[in-house]
Amino acid sequence: MHVPDGVLPTAVCAAGYAAAVPITWYSIRKINQTGDPRENVPKAALLTAAFFVASWIHIPVPPTSVHLVLSGLMGAVLGYFAFPAILIGLFLQAVMFGHGGLSTLGVNAIIIGGPALLASFIFRLRGLRGDATRRSTGIFGFLASLCAIGISAALFTVLLINFIPADLDADTERHAILMLALGHVPLMFIEGAFTAFVTVFLLRVRPQMLTES
Amino acid sequence: MKFVLDQHAYLNSPIHRWDTRFKLIGFLVLIFAFSFVQELYIMPAMALATVAIFMISRIPVSFILARLRYPSFFLFAVVILLPFISGSDVVFSIGPLDVYEEGIESALLISVRFFSIITLGLILFGTAPLLTSIKAMRSLGLPAILADMTLLTFRYLFEIGNYLHQMETALRLRGFQARRFSRRGFSTLAWLGGSILVRSYERSEWIYKAMIMRGYGQDVNISQGSFQSSARDILALGLLILLAGGFVTAQILI
């Protein structure tokens, strides 16, 4: 779901940065409003690294295996830190592995980070009717991740089909959209289930990790 | 501490010696100028400029090639697909499949832009330690929270990666096989991910205490004293902006 360098025109790359800046500013503003924001920086940073590493876990989906994006889970656990964390993760992926890109960093942050922020709001709804239970945590964890991946996949597909410098006819374009969309549906459910399992696990083992977000 | 990305950051080349703040601005301007180019005629000049900058940097080819391996999969798919699905002018046919001129042009355009931009990015962050690059970004206005988080994430990334390898080895030793999909296997992998998060969270509490003891939270003005620029740095920035301007002008005029 990472758009690489060289695929999108400059205007779209610049628009991605222009959209990422206010979201980053908003997230940092919200982080600064919590007690001592620097206290949470090491936690957010190490969890960012942990999410980065956890995305290396391969889930077997015969005949192949997939690795997860985990943006929904990041939203659930990191709250307002999710967008900066994803921005940093994407930056490190671009400079260390050439995955994604520097010119498309803003666009990729919007594609993955924006829905992660939305996932954090969805996950917060689990405590709407008093204390969060295992069931409500699992359900809202699933929904948060399902929505995050679904929206990311939709944004990725729309951007790629509309802005790739190629003359695709309407029929090919429709097929490409359908194929990309269908390809992401199993991933949405796998990510949702994975987030549900992990959030319930965290609720049992370290519940403060979920309440702090 | 040296990291994989920093392995060639201590070589001696004009790009290594260039003030990192100016280098960041210059390279980013050139990267955006490259992404602006859409004319095939400008591609050879773009590739040539990239090769020239790469040669000046003295970074080994193997460093760049190793990092191009993974993103090249996407490019490979694009290059294979586009000539068959994009365009209307048939150049030749392979059995029932037509190869279109516009598709070949698009594939070429994307490939050259992709390799040029990615190589510039690798040179930019491969010719200075990441710590210096982050300090330079901080002095150019990057918020402190982002700078601190980036450095800490980078610092602990491979350590946490080692946790994962250890835990995966422990799972395998206990007979776990992640080849088939099953509910039990899936929940085991989710708990593995959860354990990584919990271990990292617990580690961060100790790190925060250690950081506080070393004075973390005291404001340090990075913009003063950390970087010193000379006329040569400004001249190099001017040259790179001129080069970027040349590509943009050529694209507009052609």
The alpha-carbon radius of gyration of chain A (Å, integer) is 17
Which two structure tokens, joined as six digits, stand for B79? 């290059």
**Cβ of A60 under 8 Å from any chain B Cβ?**
yes
How many Å lie between the alpha carbon of A128 and the closest alpha carbon of chain B?
Answer: 24
Taking Cα atoms as reference points, which of A138, A112, A136 lies closest to residue A196? Answer: A138
Distance CA B35, CA A82 (A): 28
A62 touches chain B (CB under 8 A): yes
Phi-psi label, residue B141: left if phi above 0, alpha if psi -120 to 50, beta otherwise:
left
> In angstroms, rounded to a whole number, what is the distance separating the alpha carbons of residues A95 and B5?
8
**CATH domain A10-211 topology:** Arp2/3 complex 21 kDa subunit ARPC3 (1.10.1760)
Cα separation, A31 vs A212, in Å, equals: 12
Q: Which residues of chain B have pLDDT under 50?
A: 1-2
Q: Taking the CB of residue A171, how many other CB atoms lie within 10 A of it?
A: 9
How far is it, in rounded angstroms, from Cα B29 to Cα B238?
A: 11
Give A-chain residues touching B35 at CB under 8 angstroms. Answer: 5-6, 8-10, 13, 103
Among chain A residues, the shortest Cα distance to B68 is held by: A98
Q: Where are the domains of chain B?
A: 4-138+227-253, 143-213
CB contacts, 8 Å: A24 with chain B: 143, 146
Residues 153-172 of A with CB under 8 A from B: 164-168, 172
Q: Which two tokens stand for residue B92?
A: 């030749």
Query: Which residues in chain A are contacts of B9 at CB distance < 8 A?
Result: none
> Tokens at residue A158, please?
């729309």
Q: Which residues of B touch A28 (CB under 8 A)?
A: 143, 145-146
Neighbours of B72 (CB within 10 A): 18
Q: Is A4 on the interface with B (CB under 8 A)?
A: yes
Residues in chain A closer than 8 A to B67 (CB atoms)? 96-98
Token pair of A67, please?
């690795």
**Residue A205's pLDDT is what?**
92
Number of C-beta neighbours around residue B168 at 10 A: 17
pLDDT tens, per residue, chain A with 213 residues: 778 888 888 899 999 999 999 999 999 999 888 777 777 888 888 888 988 888 888 888 777 778 888 899 999 999 999 999 999 999 998 888 778 888 899 999 999 999 999 999 999 998 877 777 889 999 999 999 999 999 999 998 888 878 776 666 667 767 777 777 788 888 899 999 999 999 999 999 998 888 766
Interface contact flag, B153 A46, Cβ < 8 Å:
yes
CA distances from A24 to A39, A134, A155, A181, B69 (A): 19, 31, 19, 28, 31
pLDDT in tens, B52-91: 999 999 999 888 888 777 777 777 777 788 788 777 777 7
The shortest C-alpha distance from A8 to chain B (Å) reads 7
Q: What pLDDT shows up at residue B1?
A: 43
Cβ–Cβ of B197/A47 closer than 8 Å?
A: yes
pTM above 0.80, yes or no: yes
Inspect the interface and report whether the beta carbons of B118 and A5 lie closer than 8 Å: yes
A37, A53, A167 member nearest B86 (Cβ): A167
Q: Which of A44, A97, A167 sits opposite B149 (nearest CB)?
A: A44
* pLDDT for the residue numbered B4: 66
A44 touches chain B (CB under 8 A): yes
CA distance B161 to A49: 8
- Decide if A174 touches B, using CB distance below 8 A: no
Among A167, A187, A205, pick the best mutation site for testing chain B contact (most B Cβ within 10 A).
A167
| Binary contact (B200, A46; C-beta < 8 A) | yes
Q: Cα A186 from chain centroid? A: 16
Q: Which of residues 94-133 of A touch B (CB under 8 A)?
A: 94-99, 101-103
CB of B64 closer than 8 Å to CB of B54 = yes
Q: Which of B5, B24, B149 to mutate to test the interface with A (most CBs of A within 10 A)?
A: B149
Residue-level pLDDT at A152: 93
Q: How many Cβ atoms are within 10 Å of A28's Cβ, its own excluded?
A: 19
